[in-house]
Chains A and B, each alone.
Chain A
Amino acid sequence: MSSVIASSVAEHHPGPQTQERGQRAVFCGLTSIIWLHRRIQDAFFLVVGSRTCAHLIQSAAGVMIFAEPRFATAILGERDLAGMADCHEELDRVVSELIARRSGINRLFLVGSCPSEVIKLDLETAAAKLQVKHENRVRISAFSGSGIETTFTQGEDQCLKSTIAELPALEASKENLIVLGTVSDIVEDQFRRLLDELDIKDVHFYPGRKAGDLPAVGKGTRVIAAQPFVGETARALIARGANLISAPFPLGAEGSKAWFESVAEAYGVDSQRTEQVLELPYQRAKRAVSVHRSKLEGKRIHFLPDSQLEIPMARFLSEECGLGINEVGTPFHDQLVMRAELARLRKDVPMVEGQDLDPALARVRASRPDLTVCGMGIANALESEGLRTKWSIELVFSPVQGFDQAGDLAGLFAKPLAREDILEVGSWS
Chain B
Amino acid sequence: MELTLWTYEGPPHVGAIRIAASMRDVHLMLHSPQGDTYADLLFTMIEREGQRPPVTYTTFQARDLGSSTAEMVVNSLRECAERFKPQVLMVADSCTAELIQDQPGALALGANLPVPVIPLEMAAYTRKENWGAAETFYQLVRGLLSRQAPPPGTERPPRDVNTMPSVNLLGPTKLGFRCRDDVVEIERLLRSMGVDVNVVAPLGASPQDLQAIPKADANINLCPEVSDLTCSWLARTFGMPTISTIPMGWGATRDFIAEVAAVLDLDINVDAVGESRLPWYSRSIDSTYLTGKRVFVFADGSHAIAAARVARDEMGFEVVGLGTYSRERARDVRAAAKEYGLEALITDNYLEVEAKVQELQPEMVLGTQMERHIAKRLGIPCAVISTPAHVQDYPARYSPQMGFEGANVLFDTWVHPLIMGLEEHLLHMFRDDFEFNDSVGPSHLGSEGEGSRAKGSPDDSQSDDGAVVWAFDAEKELKKIPFFVRGKARRNTERFAFEHGLTTIEVDTLYDAKAHFSN
Binding site for B on A (CB under 8 A): 22-31, 48, 50-56, 58-60, 62-63, 65-69, 72-78, 80-81, 85, 87, 90-91, 93-94, 97-98, 114-115, 117-119, 146-149, 151, 358, 375-381, 383-384
Contacts and interface: CB of A to CB of B under 8 A. Distances in A.
B59 A52 contact: no
B175 to A, nearest CB: 11
Given A69-B5, A78-B126, A381 B52 contact: yes
B48 interface: yes
B51 A50 contact: no
24 contacts: A23-B59, A25-B57, A27-B38, A52-B10, A52-B36, A52-B95, A55-B9, A55-B14, A65-B6, A65-B370, A72-B3, A73-B7, A74-B2, A76-B1, A114-B95, A115-B95, A115-B96, A147-B96, A148-B61, A358-B79, A376-B41, A376-B45, A378-B52, A379-B44
Nearest to A51: B11
B431 interface: no
Given A26-B37, A117-B62, A52 B124 contact: yes
Contacts of B388: 63
B390 A377 contact: no
Contacts of B96: 50, 52, 114-115, 118, 147-148
B373 A65 contact: yes
B51 A60 contact: no
Interface residues of B, number: 56
A378 B59 CA distance: 16
B71 interface: no
A104 to B, nearest CB: 16
Nearest to B125: A78
A379 to B, nearest CB: 7
B44 A67 contact: no
B4 interface: yes
Nearest 5 A-B pairs (CB), nearest first? A28-B35, A377-B40, A384-B50, A147-B35, A65-B373
A199 B48 CA distance: 51
Interface string B102-130: 00000000000000000000001110100
Contacts of A377: 37-41, 44-45, 52
B34 A77 contact: no
B7 A58 contact: yes
A50 B98 CA distance: 12
B3 A51 contact: no
A357 B44 CA distance: 16
Nearest to B62: A148
Interface in B47-65: 48-52, 56-62, 65
Nearest to B53: A377
Given A65-B369, A115-B99, 17 more contacts: A23-B59, A27-B35, A30-B35, A51-B11, A56-B35, A74-B2, A118-B96, A147-B36, A148-B33, A148-B61, A148-B65, A358-B79, A377-B41, A380-B45, A380-B48, A381-B51, A383-B50
Contacts of A29: 35
A385 to B, nearest CB: 8
A81 B125 contact: yes
Interface of B: 1-7, 9-11, 13-14, 33-42, 44-45, 48-52, 56-62, 65, 76, 79, 83, 94-96, 99-100, 124-126, 128, 351, 369-370, 373, 377, 388, 390
B38 A77 contact: no
Given A77-B2, A379-B44, A66 B10 contact: no
A51 B37 contact: no
B1 A93 contact: yes
Contacts of B61: 148-149
Given A51-B11, A68-B5, A25 B99 contact: no
Nearest to A361: B52
Given A26-B34, A55-B11, A115-B99, A50 B125 contact: yes
Contact of B35 (A63, A81, A114): A114
In this complex, which of A117, A148, A384 has the most chain B Cβ atoms within 10 angstroms of its Cβ? A148
Contacts of B60: 148
B38 A56 contact: yes
Contact of B49 (A78, A147, A380): A380
A65 B390 CA distance: 12
In this complex, which of B56, B59, B128 has the most chain A Cβ atoms within 10 angstroms of its Cβ? B59
A419 B103 CA distance: 48
A24 B76 CA distance: 12
Contacts of B4: 51, 54, 72-75
A43 to B, nearest CB: 16
Contact of B125 (A58, A62, A77): A77
In this complex, which of B37, B56, B99, B373 has the most chain A Cβ atoms within 10 angstroms of its Cβ? B37
Contacts of B79: 358
Nearest to B372: A65
In this complex, which of A77, A149, A151, A381 has the most chain B Cβ atoms within 10 angstroms of its Cβ? A381
B94 A52 contact: yes
A147 B64 CA distance: 12
A32 to B, nearest CB: 12
Nearest to B44: A380
A54 B9 CA distance: 10
A378 B42 contact: no
A393 to B, nearest CB: 10
Contacts of B390: 62-63
Contacts of A93: 1
Contact of B51 (A85, A98, A384): A384
A56 to B, nearest CB: 5
A97 B5 CA distance: 13
Contacts of A56: 35-36, 38
A24 B34 contact: yes
B34 A90 contact: no
A124 B390 CA distance: 36
A13 B76 CA distance: 32
Contacts of B76: 23
B198 to A, nearest CB: 30
Nearest to A82: B125
A119 B124 CA distance: 15
B125 A24 contact: no
B44 A381 contact: yes
B35 A51 contact: no
A24 B59 contact: yes
